[in-house]
Amino acid sequence: MDLNLPFLSLLIWTPILGGIWVLYLGDGQEQTVKVFSLMVSILVFVLSLLAYADFDTTTSAMQFVELRSWIDAFKINYHLGIDGIALPLILLTTFTTILVILSAWDVIEYRISQFMAAFLILEGLMNGVFASVDAILFYFFWEAMLIPMFLIIGIWGGPRRVYATIKFFLYTFLGSVFMLVALLYMYSKAGSFSIPDLQAMPLSLAEQKLIFIAFFLAFAVKIPMWPVHTWLPDAHVEAPTAGSVVLAAIMLKMGGYGFIRFSLPITPDASMAFDSWMIVLSLIAIVYIGFVALVQSDMKKLIAYSSISHMGFVTLGFFIVFSIYATTNDSSGAVMALEGSMMQMISHGFISGAMFLCVGVLYDRMHSREISAYGGVANTMPRFAAFMLLFTMANAGLPGTTGFVGEFLVILGSYQSGFWIAFLAALTLIMGAAYSLWMYKRVIFGDVANEHVAELTDINTRETFILAVLAITVLVFGIWPAPIFEMMQPSIENLFNHIIQSKTG
């Protein structure tokens, strides 16, 4: 199929314009607003599927490239393009947005048009982040994303929403501005903001180290890594369900995407120099945060910590490649780790999204996120319990679900670099099982804990549909992840060949 559409521009601007239209419609026409928003999100998803159908999986080059001059004076271009790393994340974004809009259907009680508009605009901006080939364009979308998210948490969030949202905003803003300084510094040397040019430009090790740290501040906050993760539990807990889903499923991936698009290829020597630090921080996230998750009494907080722990896997996979390559002198193990990390990001998008939706389902009925408020939910909500069991298992990394694929590859890869790293990383399978299943047991199993639980009604068609779609996705790609790997294989290999070359020369 060759449609020759400007897919990427459509993916960015359709939801944004749709969102503006929704804002214009206002709160008076609630039903129209909802239906229209849903249609826009489906349209965007279909567009992204068409892009996927058109996508050439044999090359690592940027595809669907659009190049227009934006700011002539400084050679900044409206330059879009995607490769095998960006495409899966765009698909994840468009897919998640539909579910998010559906999930909010009957739940949001006030300012519904603003709510829908915020999510549609957010979707467009997130697509923009993944599709930008110009660093300033990337930064433009990256920062602009904060505004809708700030409003989503602040307007529709829980009791401590103001604290959480301001913390979220300032934390991520602080991280990002250093990235801007690094980008501007590189521009002063290379005279270009195009990401491929930045990846190709030579940089001394000292420069690379400073640039790496600047990038690290931006991406580590976003993904988030220990110890700059503290905004995440607050933001997750206070955000409305839909906000938590987008935050966990997509926005965290931006940090990972930043590492793989900026840190690794632009500063490969510094990445190598700092790799043991990054591995240690990742392992701390995996193990320590796993323990932290274990003691949470709030379900959302527990899932938030489990997200941080899972993201530890992503950063581990990214930064362990140097030591794998150094020990084995063979690219296959390292490429496997990188692919595992990517897979982990996508899988976590599905699973954490599903987990937050499950908590949302309970919260809509009981208005409590405390584990202790529940017990014996299986008695009143059997269908829901079945779905949640699947997602809990996937969260723990059960084989047959997507949760397993990524973790397994990363562990397998890291084994080649050293037994103890693999051992510590593999602890997550136990930790994950412990906190996920224990929470499940306390919430779902047992006798009916109180009269509120006894009055629960099982999930309705809308909720069943959302969870079923996610369940199928988790299972299908858990058993047959080949399409995803196929998509990213050439780009990952190309990336790997790039990062093992020193740029200091």
Binding site for another protein (CB under 8 A): 26, 69-74, 114, 136, 139-141, 143-144, 146-147, 150-151, 154-155, 161-162, 165-166, 169-170, 173-174, 177-178, 180-181, 184-185, 187-188
CB-CB neighbours of 464 under 10 Å: 15
Distance CA 181, CA 185 (A): 6
Question: Please, which residue, 74 or 419, has the CB nearer to another protein?
Answer: 74
Greatest CA separation for the chain: 71
Minimum distance, C-beta of residue 319 to another protein, in the bound complex (Å): 25
Question: Please, which residue, 25 or 433, has the CB nearer to another protein?
Answer: 25
Minimum distance, C-beta of residue 155 to another protein, in the bound complex (Å): 6
List, as one string, the DSSP characters of 43-84. Answer: HHHHHHHHHHHH--TT--S-EEEEEEEEEGGGTEEEEEEE-T
Question: Please, which residue, 27 or 330, has the CB nearer to another protein?
Answer: 27
Question: Please, which residue, 71 or 386, has the CB nearer to another protein?
Answer: 71
List the Cα angle 264/270/274 in 5-degree steps. Answer: 100
Burial of 124 (0-12, 13-18, 19+ CB in 10 A): buried
Question: Please, which residue, 21 or 52, has the CB nearer to another protein?
Answer: 21
How is residue 371 annotated by DSSP? G
| Alpha-carbon distance values, 62 to 250, 295, 340, 466, 494 (Å) | 21, 45, 22, 33, 12
Half-sphere exposure of 362 (CA within 13 A, CB side): 32
Question: Please, which residue, 117 or 456, has the CB nearer to another protein?
Answer: 117
Minimum distance, C-beta of residue 146 to another protein, in the bound complex (Å): 7
Question: Please, which residue, 217 or 453, has the CB nearer to another protein?
Answer: 217
Minimum distance, C-beta of residue 380 to another protein, in the bound complex (Å): 35
Minimum distance, C-beta of residue 490 to another protein, in the bound complex (Å): 32
Q: Which residue has the tokens 């549609």?
A: 120
Minimum distance, C-beta of residue 136 to another protein, in the bound complex (Å): 8
Rounded CA Rg of the chain: 22
- 190-212 CB burial, b ≥16 within 10 A, e <16: eebbbbebbbeeebeeebbbbbb
Question: Please, which residue, 148 or 353, has the CB nearer to another protein?
Answer: 148
Minimum distance, C-beta of residue 93 to another protein, in the bound complex (Å): 18
| Alpha-carbon distance values, 503 to 193, 206, 270 (Å) | 18, 12, 10
Distance CA 304, CA 248 (A): 8
Question: Please, which residue, 157 or 255, has the CB nearer to another protein?
Answer: 157
State both tokens at 127: 């697509």
Q: What are phi and psi of 112, to 5 degrees?
A: -65, -35
Minimum distance, C-beta of residue 70 to another protein, in the bound complex (Å): 6
How is residue 298 annotated by DSSP? B
Minimum distance, C-beta of residue 40 to another protein, in the bound complex (Å): 20
Minimum distance, C-beta of residue 225 to another protein, in the bound complex (Å): 19
H/E element, 342: helix 331-366
Q: Which residue has the tokens 């826009």?
A: 40
Question: Please, which residue, 141 or 226, has the CB nearer to another protein?
Answer: 141
Distance CA 130, CA 93 (A): 10
Question: Please, which residue, 4 or 188, has the CB nearer to another protein?
Answer: 188
Minimum distance, C-beta of residue 33 to another protein, in the bound complex (Å): 14
Question: Please, which residue, 69 or 372, has the CB nearer to another protein?
Answer: 69
Strand 76-82 to 63-71 pairing? antiparallel
List the Cα angle 293/294/296 in 5-degree steps. Answer: 65
Minimum distance, C-beta of residue 144 to another protein, in the bound complex (Å): 5
State both tokens at 218: 């931006």
> Do 467 and 354 contact (CB within 8 A), yes or no?
yes
